[in-house]
Structure 1
Amino acid sequence: MNKEEQVIIGFRDLYNKLVWLNKDKMEDSLKGYTSSEVHCIEYIERNVDSNVTKLAESFYMTRGAISKLTKKLIEKDLIESYQKSDNKKEIYFRLTEQGKVIYKIHDDLHKEFQERDKAVFEQVTEEQFDSVLSFVEKYSRHLDAEIKKLGVDIKSE
Protein backbone atom coordinates (compact mmCIF):
# COMPACT_ATOMS: atom_id res chain seq x y z
CA MET A 1 0.00 0.00 0.00
CA ASN A 2 1.45 3.38 -0.96
CA LYS A 3 1.37 6.51 1.22
CA GLU A 4 -1.52 8.02 -0.72
CA GLU A 5 -3.66 4.96 0.02
CA GLN A 6 -2.50 4.99 3.65
CA VAL A 7 -3.59 8.63 4.02
CA ILE A 8 -7.04 8.02 2.48
CA ILE A 9 -7.61 4.87 4.53
CA GLY A 10 -6.25 6.65 7.62
CA PHE A 11 -8.69 9.57 7.22
CA ARG A 12 -11.61 7.22 6.64
CA ASP A 13 -10.62 5.06 9.60
CA LEU A 14 -10.28 8.11 11.89
CA TYR A 15 -13.66 9.41 10.77
CA ASN A 16 -15.35 6.03 11.32
CA LYS A 17 -13.81 5.68 14.79
CA LEU A 18 -14.97 9.18 15.79
CA VAL A 19 -18.48 8.48 14.55
CA TRP A 20 -18.57 5.15 16.38
CA LEU A 21 -17.20 6.57 19.63
CA ASN A 22 -19.53 9.57 19.65
CA LYS A 23 -22.66 7.95 18.21
CA ASP A 24 -24.31 6.45 21.32
CA LYS A 25 -23.87 9.55 23.45
CA MET A 26 -25.06 11.83 20.63
CA GLU A 27 -28.11 9.67 19.95
CA ASP A 28 -29.00 9.41 23.65
CA SER A 29 -28.64 13.15 24.25
CA LEU A 30 -30.34 14.22 21.01
CA LYS A 31 -33.14 11.64 20.77
CA GLY A 32 -35.74 12.51 18.18
CA TYR A 33 -33.35 14.56 16.03
CA THR A 34 -31.44 13.39 12.98
CA SER A 35 -27.79 14.18 12.42
CA SER A 36 -28.78 16.45 9.51
CA GLU A 37 -31.21 18.36 11.70
CA VAL A 38 -28.64 18.88 14.45
CA HIS A 39 -25.92 19.97 12.04
CA CYS A 40 -28.34 22.35 10.33
CA ILE A 41 -29.12 23.87 13.74
CA GLU A 42 -25.38 24.17 14.41
CA TYR A 43 -24.77 25.90 11.07
CA ILE A 44 -27.63 28.37 11.59
CA GLU A 45 -26.39 29.28 15.06
CA ARG A 46 -22.82 29.82 13.89
CA ASN A 47 -23.59 31.69 10.65
CA VAL A 48 -25.53 34.94 10.60
CA ASP A 49 -28.25 35.25 7.98
CA SER A 50 -28.29 31.56 7.05
CA ASN A 51 -30.49 30.80 4.08
CA VAL A 52 -31.31 27.79 1.90
CA THR A 53 -28.51 28.54 -0.57
CA LYS A 54 -25.80 28.86 2.10
CA LEU A 55 -27.00 25.68 3.83
CA ALA A 56 -27.09 23.74 0.53
CA GLU A 57 -23.54 24.82 -0.30
CA SER A 58 -22.26 23.95 3.15
CA PHE A 59 -23.88 20.49 3.30
CA TYR A 60 -23.41 19.57 -0.39
CA MET A 61 -27.14 19.04 -0.65
CA THR A 62 -29.69 20.38 -3.10
CA ARG A 63 -31.73 23.44 -2.21
CA GLY A 64 -34.82 21.25 -2.40
CA ALA A 65 -33.44 18.89 0.25
CA ILE A 66 -32.50 21.82 2.47
CA SER A 67 -35.97 23.31 2.04
CA LYS A 68 -37.49 20.04 3.29
CA LEU A 69 -35.04 19.94 6.20
CA THR A 70 -35.69 23.54 7.26
CA LYS A 71 -39.45 23.00 6.96
CA LYS A 72 -39.15 20.07 9.40
CA LEU A 73 -37.09 22.21 11.78
CA ILE A 74 -39.71 24.97 11.63
CA GLU A 75 -42.47 22.39 12.34
CA LYS A 76 -40.46 21.13 15.34
CA ASP A 77 -40.15 24.76 16.53
CA LEU A 78 -36.34 24.63 16.39
CA ILE A 79 -35.84 27.41 13.84
CA GLU A 80 -37.88 30.28 12.49
CA SER A 81 -37.67 32.16 9.23
CA TYR A 82 -37.32 35.91 8.86
CA GLN A 83 -36.80 38.54 6.20
CA LYS A 84 -34.84 41.76 6.27
CA SER A 85 -36.72 45.00 5.78
CA ASP A 86 -34.46 45.95 2.86
CA ASN A 87 -34.78 42.55 1.13
CA LYS A 88 -38.23 41.00 1.19
CA LYS A 89 -37.24 38.36 -1.39
CA GLU A 90 -34.66 36.43 0.65
CA ILE A 91 -35.68 34.19 3.57
CA TYR A 92 -33.23 33.63 6.43
CA PHE A 93 -33.27 31.35 9.46
CA ARG A 94 -32.47 31.72 13.14
CA LEU A 95 -32.85 29.42 16.11
CA THR A 96 -35.83 29.48 18.44
CA GLU A 97 -35.32 29.02 22.18
CA GLN A 98 -35.81 25.25 21.73
CA GLY A 99 -33.30 25.28 18.85
CA LYS A 100 -30.78 26.97 21.14
CA VAL A 101 -31.27 24.18 23.69
CA ILE A 102 -30.48 21.54 21.05
CA TYR A 103 -27.48 23.58 19.85
CA LYS A 104 -26.14 23.80 23.42
CA ILE A 105 -26.49 20.05 24.01
CA HIS A 106 -24.65 19.34 20.75
CA ASP A 107 -21.96 21.93 21.46
CA ASP A 108 -21.41 20.59 24.99
CA LEU A 109 -21.00 17.07 23.62
CA HIS A 110 -18.38 18.28 21.14
CA LYS A 111 -16.52 20.00 23.98
CA GLU A 112 -16.64 16.77 25.97
CA PHE A 113 -15.23 14.80 23.01
CA GLN A 114 -12.57 17.46 22.50
CA GLU A 115 -11.55 17.12 26.14
CA ARG A 116 -11.38 13.33 25.74
CA ASP A 117 -9.01 13.71 22.79
CA LYS A 118 -7.01 16.63 24.22
CA ALA A 119 -4.02 14.47 25.18
CA VAL A 120 -3.29 13.73 21.52
CA PHE A 121 -3.66 17.30 20.30
CA GLU A 122 -1.44 18.64 23.09
CA GLN A 123 1.44 16.62 21.63
CA VAL A 124 1.08 18.08 18.12
CA THR A 125 3.42 20.94 17.25
CA GLU A 126 2.35 24.11 15.43
CA GLU A 127 4.35 22.94 12.42
CA GLN A 128 2.56 19.59 12.39
CA PHE A 129 -0.83 21.31 12.63
CA ASP A 130 0.15 23.69 9.81
CA SER A 131 1.30 20.80 7.65
CA VAL A 132 -1.88 18.77 8.17
CA LEU A 133 -4.11 21.82 7.64
CA SER A 134 -2.22 22.73 4.48
CA PHE A 135 -2.72 19.24 3.10
CA VAL A 136 -6.43 19.18 4.00
CA GLU A 137 -6.99 22.58 2.32
CA LYS A 138 -5.08 21.51 -0.80
CA TYR A 139 -7.01 18.23 -1.07
CA SER A 140 -10.31 20.01 -0.47
CA ARG A 141 -9.60 22.50 -3.29
CA HIS A 142 -8.76 19.57 -5.58
CA LEU A 143 -12.05 17.83 -4.73
CA ASP A 144 -13.94 21.10 -5.32
CA ALA A 145 -12.35 21.30 -8.78
CA GLU A 146 -13.30 17.67 -9.50
CA ILE A 147 -16.90 18.36 -8.47
CA LYS A 148 -16.93 21.40 -10.74
CA LYS A 149 -15.54 19.31 -13.64
CA LEU A 150 -18.55 17.03 -13.31
CA GLY A 151 -20.70 20.03 -14.04
CA VAL A 152 -22.33 19.77 -10.66
CA ASP A 153 -23.34 23.12 -9.26
CA ILE A 154 -24.45 22.48 -5.70
CA LYS A 155 -25.74 26.06 -5.51
CA SER A 156 -28.38 25.69 -8.20
CA GLU A 157 -29.68 22.18 -7.60
Structure 2
Amino acid sequence: MQRQQVLMSQLMDLTNELIWLNRPEMQSALKGYKLNEIELLEKIGLLTHPNVTKLANATYMTRGAISKLTKKLMEKELITSYQLPENKKEIYFRLTTQGEHINQTHQMLHQRFANRDKEVFTNMTDEEFDTVFRFIGRYREHLKKLPKSR
Protein backbone atom coordinates (compact mmCIF):
# COMPACT_ATOMS: atom_id res chain seq x y z
CA MET A 1 0.00 0.00 0.00
CA GLN A 2 2.92 2.35 0.67
CA ARG A 3 3.99 2.41 -3.00
CA GLN A 4 0.43 3.18 -4.06
CA GLN A 5 0.30 6.16 -1.69
CA VAL A 6 3.67 7.43 -2.88
CA LEU A 7 2.63 7.11 -6.54
CA MET A 8 -0.69 8.89 -5.97
CA SER A 9 1.05 11.61 -3.96
CA GLN A 10 3.61 12.13 -6.71
CA LEU A 11 0.89 12.27 -9.37
CA MET A 12 -0.98 14.90 -7.36
CA ASP A 13 2.24 16.86 -6.79
CA LEU A 14 3.02 16.74 -10.51
CA THR A 15 -0.47 17.95 -11.39
CA ASN A 16 -0.32 20.77 -8.84
CA GLU A 17 3.16 21.79 -9.98
CA LEU A 18 2.03 21.99 -13.61
CA ILE A 19 -1.00 24.05 -12.63
CA TRP A 20 1.14 26.37 -10.52
CA LEU A 21 3.72 26.74 -13.30
CA ASN A 22 1.21 27.28 -16.13
CA ARG A 23 -1.32 29.42 -14.25
CA PRO A 24 0.34 32.88 -14.62
CA GLU A 25 0.67 32.58 -18.41
CA MET A 26 -2.83 31.12 -18.76
CA GLN A 27 -4.35 33.87 -16.62
CA SER A 28 -2.52 36.57 -18.55
CA ALA A 29 -3.42 35.27 -22.01
CA LEU A 30 -7.01 34.35 -21.08
CA LYS A 31 -7.77 37.19 -18.69
CA GLY A 32 -11.42 37.50 -17.74
CA TYR A 33 -12.30 33.87 -18.41
CA LYS A 34 -12.65 31.08 -15.87
CA LEU A 35 -11.02 27.70 -16.35
CA ASN A 36 -14.35 25.87 -16.69
CA GLU A 37 -15.39 28.33 -19.44
CA ILE A 38 -12.16 27.76 -21.35
CA GLU A 39 -12.42 23.99 -20.97
CA LEU A 40 -16.03 24.02 -22.17
CA LEU A 41 -15.06 26.09 -25.22
CA GLU A 42 -12.37 23.50 -25.96
CA LYS A 43 -14.89 20.63 -25.77
CA ILE A 44 -17.40 22.49 -27.95
CA GLY A 45 -14.64 22.98 -30.51
CA LEU A 46 -13.70 19.29 -30.43
CA LEU A 47 -17.03 17.45 -30.30
CA THR A 48 -19.34 16.78 -33.23
CA HIS A 49 -22.72 18.37 -32.53
CA PRO A 50 -22.04 19.05 -28.84
CA ASN A 51 -25.15 19.16 -26.66
CA VAL A 52 -25.62 19.39 -22.90
CA THR A 53 -25.36 15.63 -22.38
CA LYS A 54 -22.22 15.20 -24.50
CA LEU A 55 -20.59 18.18 -22.79
CA ALA A 56 -21.47 16.90 -19.30
CA ASN A 57 -19.92 13.53 -20.09
CA ALA A 58 -16.80 15.09 -21.63
CA THR A 59 -16.17 17.53 -18.80
CA TYR A 60 -17.31 15.54 -15.75
CA MET A 61 -19.77 18.32 -14.89
CA THR A 62 -23.47 17.88 -14.28
CA ARG A 63 -25.98 18.66 -17.02
CA GLY A 64 -27.32 21.46 -14.83
CA ALA A 65 -23.85 23.02 -14.56
CA ILE A 66 -23.41 22.73 -18.33
CA SER A 67 -26.78 24.42 -18.93
CA LYS A 68 -25.81 27.34 -16.72
CA LEU A 69 -22.36 27.61 -18.24
CA THR A 70 -23.60 27.48 -21.84
CA LYS A 71 -26.09 30.28 -21.06
CA LYS A 72 -23.25 32.33 -19.64
CA LEU A 73 -21.07 31.65 -22.70
CA MET A 74 -23.95 32.63 -24.98
CA GLU A 75 -24.39 35.90 -23.06
CA LYS A 76 -20.67 36.57 -23.55
CA GLU A 77 -21.18 35.78 -27.27
CA LEU A 78 -18.59 33.00 -27.19
CA ILE A 79 -20.98 30.29 -28.41
CA THR A 80 -24.27 30.06 -30.27
CA SER A 81 -26.90 27.34 -30.29
CA TYR A 82 -28.35 25.54 -33.29
CA GLN A 83 -30.63 22.67 -34.20
CA LEU A 84 -30.35 20.06 -36.90
CA PRO A 85 -33.12 20.03 -39.53
CA GLU A 86 -33.91 16.39 -38.77
CA ASN A 87 -34.00 16.92 -34.97
CA LYS A 88 -35.76 20.07 -33.80
CA LYS A 89 -35.83 18.81 -30.20
CA GLU A 90 -32.11 18.77 -29.46
CA ILE A 91 -30.04 21.95 -29.00
CA TYR A 92 -26.38 21.95 -30.01
CA PHE A 93 -23.60 24.49 -29.56
CA ARG A 94 -20.83 25.94 -31.71
CA LEU A 95 -18.09 28.47 -31.12
CA THR A 96 -18.48 32.03 -32.36
CA THR A 97 -15.51 33.82 -33.91
CA GLN A 98 -14.67 35.23 -30.48
CA GLY A 99 -15.03 31.79 -28.86
CA GLU A 100 -12.81 30.28 -31.55
CA HIS A 101 -10.17 32.95 -30.86
CA ILE A 102 -10.14 32.10 -27.15
CA ASN A 103 -9.96 28.39 -27.93
CA GLN A 104 -7.05 28.94 -30.33
CA THR A 105 -5.21 30.98 -27.68
CA HIS A 106 -5.78 28.14 -25.22
CA GLN A 107 -4.49 25.56 -27.73
CA MET A 108 -1.44 27.74 -28.46
CA LEU A 109 -0.63 27.78 -24.74
CA HIS A 110 -0.95 23.99 -24.57
CA GLN A 111 1.49 23.72 -27.47
CA ARG A 112 3.91 26.15 -25.81
CA PHE A 113 3.84 24.09 -22.61
CA ALA A 114 4.31 20.88 -24.60
CA ASN A 115 7.33 22.38 -26.36
CA ARG A 116 8.75 23.50 -23.00
CA ASP A 117 8.44 19.96 -21.64
CA LYS A 118 9.43 18.13 -24.84
CA GLU A 119 12.82 16.98 -23.52
CA VAL A 120 11.15 14.81 -20.88
CA PHE A 121 9.12 12.95 -23.49
CA THR A 122 11.87 12.82 -26.12
CA ASN A 123 13.91 10.59 -23.83
CA MET A 124 11.06 8.22 -23.02
CA THR A 125 11.12 4.83 -24.68
CA ASP A 126 8.09 3.26 -26.31
CA GLU A 127 8.02 0.76 -23.45
CA GLU A 128 7.88 3.57 -20.88
CA PHE A 129 5.02 5.25 -22.77
CA ASP A 130 3.18 1.93 -23.03
CA THR A 131 3.59 1.31 -19.28
CA VAL A 132 2.21 4.75 -18.41
CA PHE A 133 -0.67 4.37 -20.88
CA ARG A 134 -1.54 0.93 -19.47
CA PHE A 135 -1.55 2.27 -15.92
CA ILE A 136 -3.73 5.26 -16.81
CA GLY A 137 -6.08 3.07 -18.84
CA ARG A 138 -6.49 0.54 -16.02
CA TYR A 139 -7.05 3.27 -13.47
CA ARG A 140 -9.65 5.04 -15.62
CA GLU A 141 -11.48 1.76 -16.24
CA HIS A 142 -11.52 1.14 -12.49
CA LEU A 143 -12.94 4.62 -11.83
CA LYS A 144 -15.64 4.16 -14.49
CA LYS A 145 -16.90 1.09 -12.62
CA LEU A 146 -17.37 2.99 -9.35
CA PRO A 147 -20.82 4.34 -8.47
CA LYS A 148 -21.40 7.86 -9.77
CA SER A 149 -22.21 10.55 -7.24
CA ARG A 150 -23.56 13.03 -9.81
Flag whether TM exceeds 0.5 (same fold): yes
Q: Secondary structure of 2:32's partner?
A: coil
- Name the amino acid aligned to 1:67: S
In the alignment, which residue of structure 2 is the partner of 1:140?
140
Match of 1:4 in 2: 4
Uncovered stretches (5+) of structure 1, i.e. residues with no partner: none
SS at match of 1:61: coil
2:58 aligned partner: 58
Q: How far, CA to CA, are the matches of 1:90 and 1:102 in structure 2?
A: 26
What's the CA shift string for 1:17-55, capped at 9, x where partnerless? Answer: 010000000001101100000000001111111110011
What is residue 79 of structure 2 aligned with on the other side? Answer: 79
Deviations 1:111-136 (A, max 9, x none): 00000000000011111111101110
Cα deviation for residue 147 of structure 1 reads 3.0
Could you tell me which residue of structure 2 aligns to residue 129 of structure 1?
Answer: 129
Q: Which ranges of structure 2 fall in alignment gaps of 5 or more residues?
A: none
Q: Flag as ranges the 4+ runs of structure 1 deviating above 2 A.
A: none
Give the TM-score normalised by structure 2: 0.96
Q: Which amino acid in structure 1 is aligned with residue 122 of structure 2?
A: E
**2-side partners of 1:62 and 1:108: how far apart?**
28
SS of residue matched to 1:27: helix
CA deviation string 1:80-123 (max 9, x = no partner) = 10000000111111100000100011000000000000000001
Structure ranking higher on relative contact order (CA contacts 8 Å, 6+ apart): 1
1:147 aligned counterpart, secondary structure: coil
How large is the RMSD of aligned CA atoms in angstroms? 1.1
Equivalences for 1:1-157 in 2 at 5 Å? 2-148=2-148, 152=149, 154=150
TM-score computed with the length of structure 1 as normaliser = 0.92
Larger deviation, residues 2-11 vs 34-43: 2-11
Query: SS of the counterpart of 2:123?
Result: coil
The total of aligned residue pairs comes to 150
